[in-house]
Amino acid sequence: MHPTRREMLRLGLGSSALLACGPTVPLFLARSANALANDRPAAKGRILVVVQLDGGNDGLNTVVPYRDDEYRKRRPKLAIPADEVRKVDDQVGLHPMLEPFSRLLEQDRLAIVQGVGYPNPNRSHFESMAIWQTAKTDMDKSTPGWLARALDRRTGQDGDAAGLHLHEAFPLPRALSGGRQVVPSIARLEQFRRRLGMTEGTEAASQIEALDRLARQARGEPGSPLQFVERCSLITYASSARLERIQQDQPTAKAAYPEFYLAQRLQWIAQLIKADLTTAIYYTHLDGFDTHSGQLPRHADLMRELGASLGAFLDDLKKAGESERVVVLVFSEFGRRLNENDSGGTDHGTAAPVFLLGEQVEAGLHGPYPDLTRLEDGDPIHVVDFRRIYATVLDQWLEVPHRDILGTAFAPLPVLRGG
């Protein structure tokens, strides 16, 4: 006997749960439900974790040209003193609050790509972020995200969601939008359960058990109402049951995480990785980088949160034996202008550094630092096109030919050992 919509409603899964399914539900959720039912161990593949710095990170005060006279002349109040930076070489150093990054650099787990941007830079948050997230400069609003396109090209990735977005406030980023695979966007398990209309405690367990039974029974024809019910039961069961099991097991963190929001999200990502999800891409954010005024203390706090959170995350994965298969990519939509403004801050700029972290990176500095005496509209000129970084990640880490995703060839950078 096949399940009906009435039977679904009787389980307490009302309109909110059904609407959460959307018009279509990706095949990975059915595979996830089957994997749970069969209790098979998941294959351990490579993982990309993306941390998006929202607002435009001041790259000049992140990777600091402490020996550059032009830097100090243009920033009489904001320039970081040479004796405070965490020196990388005899020309540049890291922000004083990035002590964990200094340690990771010493351990050969941090690559710094300098002066990253793109031709004809756009200083609008929305437009520039769209360029970074689609890897397209023509602003075609129908273009799927670069990671969505990459996930569509990957094969043989049975099991859980191919990608997962985690943040309390930000919607699913365009980088993961528009592809054939639907990527869940959640803040925490409790919020996801509420969105699906699931209850708590014993009743929730009964719902999940009933959904399991319905999912096993349902065999609708493509496009039929029965298939809709089947898919809704699968998305609810597969997502809720899988995350419920992970939360109950909660692999113990093997590193001390600081009390930051970013650290909490990264700790959950580490928990999911250690639980052997087959998810290939995790995406989260750190916001607050639009430092038009009062920059010094605000930026210092952000650097502290970024460094401490990622340091704990990588240490956790290393102690758990998972670090060899994880690479972290950290980027922002643009940097800040060379000149400080009259409000103790900086305005929208262009080029900025990008970080790659993990056991598989070629540690150290990559690319020359931008020439601060050679400016375009008052900003340093980028020396590395960000799509070269994407090409490297696609070819050498996600194992997707970058030309198929980016539409043209870009020379990869020697920043990964795992290719």
For every residue of 362-417, DSSP letters joined together read --EEESPPP-TTSEETTEEPPSEEHHHHHHHHIIIII---HHHHHSS--PPPS-BS
Does residue 270 belong to any structural domain of this protein? yes
Q: Is 225 within the bounds of a domain?
A: no
Strands 384-385 and 110-117: parallel
Q: Could you give the residue ranges of the DSSP H alpha helices within 255-294?
A: 261-274
Residue 234 in domain: no
Overall pTM > 0.85: no
In a domain, 411, yes or no: no
Q: What is the pLDDT of residue 44?
A: 75
Q: Give the Cα separation of 351 and 117 in Å (integer).
A: 5
Give the per-residue pLDDT at 275: 85
pLDDT means per 10 residues in the chain (419 residues)? 44 39 38 43 81 99 98 98 98 98 98 98 96 90 91 68 85 91 72 52 57 50 47 49 62 84 94 88 98 98 99 97 98 98 98 98 97 95 98 97 97 88
Rounded Cα distance between 75 and 216, Å, is 65
pLDDT of residue 161: 79
User: Looking at residue 213, what is its pLDDT?
Assistant: 55
Q: CA angle, 299 as apex, 294 and 300 as ends, to 5°?
A: 115
pLDDT for residue 407? 94
Q: Which residues contact 119 (CB under 8 A, 6 or more apart)?
A: 137, 382, 385
Task: Give the residue numbers spanning the domain of 180.
Answer: 47-184+258-406
* pLDDT, position 392: 99
The number of domains in the chain is 1
Q: Is residue 273 part of a domain?
A: yes
Residue 13 included in any domain? no
Give me the CATH number covering residue 70. Answer: 3.40.720.10
| Residue closest to 398 by CA, chosen among 390, 387, 386 | 390
Does residue 4 lie within any of the structural domains?
no
- Residue 20 three-state SS: helix
pLDDT recorded at residue 21: 39
Phi, psi of 366 (to 5 degrees): -130, 130
Whether residue 340 is contained in a domain is answered as yes
